[in-house]
Each structure stands twice: as C-alpha cells, then as structure tokens.
Copies of this chain bind each other. A is one copy, B any other.
Amino acid sequence: MISACTRIVFIVALVTTTVWADDLVLRGMGSLFVGGRIAEVSGKPVKEIVRVPGGPSSKLDPNGEYQVEQMYVQYFLPKERKGKLPLLMWHGGGLTGATYETTPDGREGWLNIFVRKGWDTYVSDAVERGRSGFASPDVWSGDPVFLTYADPFERFRIGDGEGSWNTDPTKRKILAGSQFPVEAYSDYMKQIVPRWLSTDEAVIRGYLDLVDKVCPCVLLAHSQGGSFAFKVAELRPEKVAAIVAVESASAGHLEKANALKDTKVLLVFGDFVDQHPRWVAYRKLDLEYAGAITRAGGKVDVINLPEVGIRGNSHMIMMDKNNQEVANLIQNWLSAQGFVEPGSGRDLR
C-alpha cells in the first residue's frame, strides 16, 4: 500500500510538473530604461503642426530640454534560475535586441534558449537603436546610415561576398553549406535599423548605466556589441565576470586590456572567415586584444566553430539553423567557468 501510494505521489508530481515541460515559466518579466541625459536646444523657430490628421493643430517649439541617449532593456527571469549571474545580450551594428528573439524563419532565438537554460536574461537596444529612440540633428552631429537590402547578404557571410547578391533569388551566390535561414532573408532585413557613426561614447555610457544597475553579470555580445562589451569591461572589470564575444567587430583598447585579467572571455567565430578579408581583419583585432589580456595574466578561450566540427555559420550565428547547438556550446563553456549552479547544467527542454 505504501508502495502504491508512493507511486501515485510520484505520478502526480510528474504530471503536474512535466505539463509545463515546453512552457516558459517566468518569475517575472518587464522592461526598464537606463542612463541618458537632458540636452538643451535653443534659438530655433516655432512651427505649427497637426499631430493627428483631423485633429486640432498645435504649436511645436523645438527649443527646450530633451531626454536623449537613454537605453531600453527588457528582462526575463526564469522561475528555475540556474545561471549564477544575470546574462546581458548586446546586439550588433544596424540591429536591435530583436536579434536575440525569434529567428527570421520562426525558430526560438538565444533569448528563449538561454531563459530555458535558467538565465536571468536582459536584452537591450543600444542607445539610438530601436526602442531607445534617437536625438534630433540639433543634438547629434552627423546623419544615420542605412544598409541596403544587399549589404548584409554580401557582408555577413550569407552570400559569398561582394557581388553575391542578386534580386533574382535563383542567381544569389549563397555560401555552400550556409546555416543562415536564407529563405527568410526578407524577414531578417526587417530587423535592420539605421545607426549613427558618431554616438559610440553615448552608447558606452548607456551600457555602463545598465552594468552599474544589474551586474555583476555575464555579457553575451555580438559584432559591434562585442567592441562595446570589452570597452565597458575595461571601465567596470569588477562588474563583468565574463564576456562571450560572438564575432566581435573589433575589441577594446589594447592598452587597457589588462583590466580584464579577472574576466573570463570566450571568443566565438563562425565559418568562412578565412575567405573574407573583413572578417579576417576583425578576428585579428580580437585575437590581438585576447593576447593582451593573456599577457596580463587573464584567460581567453577561442572557438573557431569549424575547428570543433560546427560548419556553415554566418555572422548572424544566433539565428543560424544550428543556433541551439552553438548555444549549448556556449552554455558548456559558461558551466565550465563555474557560472552555472552545480548540478543545474541540464537543459530544461
């Protein structure tokens, strides 16, 4: 009878927990804005505008104070927390935090995947991207730049470099064995947002404000975001316990790399890098920076995915078809560095 009872208890417990097996169970989710400053504009003429067609007209005085350079952050806190520290996901140039959400072809992105692995995850839009808004030409110098439809295809190692794009899909030169969901390229392009080239300092201030608010933490940063991650870690080495830099598009300041001697660093590079001089150049900068960290007594691991048998990755690794496999590899590295609670390395899925 005891045995039967135990069995029933076990079955009930199993049913009431495994019913959520594929669900995301969050103890909280929300968003916040960090950083920014008040900018003053003066000496401009007052305009008369209609804000909504059919509505009343009103004056628009461009003079005054403006809130600028803040940063938007959205967070997801899993019920079963396993990552010892918050995980902050920083996107690359011309993109927003949407980079880490659903992939262009509709699969779960690294946000869902790492939340399922038990990480408190913070996805941000860099200053002047996406929901962080942008300042007027009265506040910022220079214009934003816009990527053409062909640009990421040729530059992000989806197609085989310059000239690989064609408006006729059958004539595009896709890299052989590409893991990028190229059939959803049009959906990927909808993620691309304009960016300024003059706002790096403001972007870094925004990230510093975030780090000061929610760290110590692990930074997972992509492309341009990698460069920001290293520069922020130079300024807050005690707050940045680890950096996973995915195809970092240049690194930090070589002469300040010694600040990262206690920060665990992983550099991840995809496939086809050797054939594309731009990415050879970025990897060279990253490895030089890694060398400077190492010489200061720090620890840097480098994974060239093809060298561990993972082939076909574009620059957009987090949305490539094998994004779960690469996420698992990153998780294993984080676990090996001690950032996952003992016995909690198992995937929730």
User: Could you list which residues of chain A lie within 8 angstroms of chain B, going by C-beta atoms?
Assistant: 1-2, 4-5, 8-9, 12-13, 16-17, 20, 22-33, 36, 38, 49-56, 58, 60-67, 70, 72, 74, 79, 93, 96-98, 101-102, 106, 108-109, 112, 125, 130-131, 133-136, 144-151, 167, 186-187, 189-194, 197, 200, 224, 227, 249-250, 277-278, 281-282, 285
Contacts and interface: CB of A to CB of B under 8 A. Distances in A.
A130 B131 CA distance: 4
Nearest to A251: B54
Contact of A278 (B58, B72, B109, B148): B58
Nearest to A223: B52
Contacts of A144: 136
A194 B50 contact: no
A28 B23 CA distance: 7
Contacts of A193: 131, 133-134
A131 B148 CA distance: 17
Number of copies: 2
28 contacts: A4-B5, A5-B8, A22-B27, A23-B27, A25-B26, A26-B26, A31-B102, A32-B106, A33-B187, A33-B190, A50-B197, A52-B249, A52-B250, A53-B250, A54-B250, A61-B148, A65-B150, A65-B167, A66-B146, A66-B147, A66-B149, A67-B149, A70-B190, A72-B190, A96-B131, A97-B131, A134-B193, A135-B146
B227 A52 contact: yes
Contacts of A25: 20, 23-26
Given A8-B9, A22-B27, A52-B93, A67 B145 contact: no
Main secondary structure of the interface of A (DSSP, over half): mixed
A153 B254 CA distance: 46
A275 to B, nearest CB: 16
A101 to B, nearest CB: 4
A97 B61 CA distance: 26
B190 A36 contact: yes
Nearest to A14: B16
A55 B250 contact: yes
A33 B186 CA distance: 10
B102 A32 contact: yes
A20 B79 contact: yes
